[in-house]
Structure 1
Amino acid sequence: MVKAAKGLRAVALLEATKGVLSLIVGLGIHTLAGKDLKHACEQLLTHLHLNPASHLPGIFLHAAESLGNINLTLIAVGALLYSCIRFIEAYGLWHSMVWTEWFALVSGGIYLPFEAYEVVVHHNWLSIATLAVNLLIVGYMAWLLRRKPALALAHERNK
């Protein structure tokens, strides 16, 4: 069971990292709410030495213009909720709580069709790596949960 604990802790660290990143993004978006988002984006592009009139920075600026303050607040709240869920999942996995193992299996499984679609449509290394890592986690959780009844039965026989 030591291997299982190490695997769960590795997944817990990944989930905690996702929670931290989501929290940083949510706080960053929250600080932008109520400000002139287009101006902030123009300053960022200038700082990065990108031409706002070129194609990709232009798309970025157009997206910034279309977002209102209400949308930014909702996105920030969503990021905060997502980070809370990831932190709870990380805590539960770290402490080998069975319900979080099921949660990791189901929540990871929900993303698989979307990630597979991204691989088919965009076919880049990031989408392939994301799908591979998620397949590993979902497969590991399924394997671990499948072993639990057999381990419990073996433990009972040894008493």
Structure 2
Amino acid sequence: MDTTRTIKLVAVFEALKGLVALSAASGVLMLIHKDLHTLAIRLVEHAHLNPASKFPNIFIVAAGHLQNGRLLLLAVGAAAYSAIRIVEAYGLFCGRIWAELFAAISGAVYIPFEIVALIRHAGWTSLGALLANAVVVYIMVNAMERGRSVNIGRRPN
């Protein structure tokens, strides 16, 4: 597979992550000024769980302690993450070197945390996240190495 096509696939992947984060931010914003305790109880009952058992009770108590300020902070953080991912995806799709560097660094930052998560709680989700970021880092570093001899600033289409 050629480098340009692979980078565009990474761009689509990053854009999807951005859209998921934007959806999460929107969902959190919809919860502001709601009675989260009552909502949590309704969700537990809808799932046919016993509200008095350990994990559903922890969920209900945690929902009751969430404050609008924390929800707003969470929504703003998710929106900022979304904006970063969408800008990164745009840069990758347009063949910008800065976006390749950013994608490599942002993917590499997560790898140590994902290794720790995999060691503590081995599972498919932890392994998938580690592999996805490792592949993105590999693709971006490989693209930057090839691009040094070709062009500066913008990748040829």
The 5 A counterparts of 1:36-115 are 36-115=35-114
Q: Which moved more, 1:103-112 or 1:54-63?
A: 54-63
Q: Find runs of 4+ consecutive structure 1 residues off by over 4 angstroms.
A: none
Choose between structure 1 and 2: higher helix proportion: 1
- Three-state SS of the structure 1 residue aligned to 2:48 is coil
Give 2:2's aligned residue.
3
- Three-state SS of the structure 1 residue aligned to 2:51 is coil
Task: Write the letter of the residue equivalent to 2:31.
Answer: L
What is the root-mean-square deviation in Å for CA atoms of aligned residues? 1.5
Q: Tell me by how many angstroms 1:143 deviates.
A: 1.0
**Structure-2 separation of matches of 1:65 and 1:73:** 16
Give 1:137's aligned residue.
136
The runs of 5 or more residues in structure 2 that have no matched partner are 153-157
**Structure-1 separation of matches of 2:63 and 2:122:** 27
1:26-80 per-residue CA deviation (whole Å, 9 max, x = no partner) reads 1111111111111111112222222222222222222212221100010011111
Task: Write the letter of the residue equivalent to 2:87.
Answer: I
Give 2:155's aligned residue.
none
Aligned residue-pair number:
152
1:61-118 per-residue CA deviation (whole Å, 9 max, x = no partner) reads 2221222110001001111111111111111111111111110011111111101100
The runs of 5 or more residues in structure 1 that have no matched partner are 154-159
**Structure-2 separation of matches of 1:148 and 1:72:** 43
**What is the TM-score with the length of structure 1 in the denominator?**
0.90
**Structure-1 separation of matches of 2:53 and 2:89:** 41
- Three-state SS of the structure 2 residue aligned to 1:79 is helix
Task: Write the letter of the residue equivalent to 1:66.
Answer: H
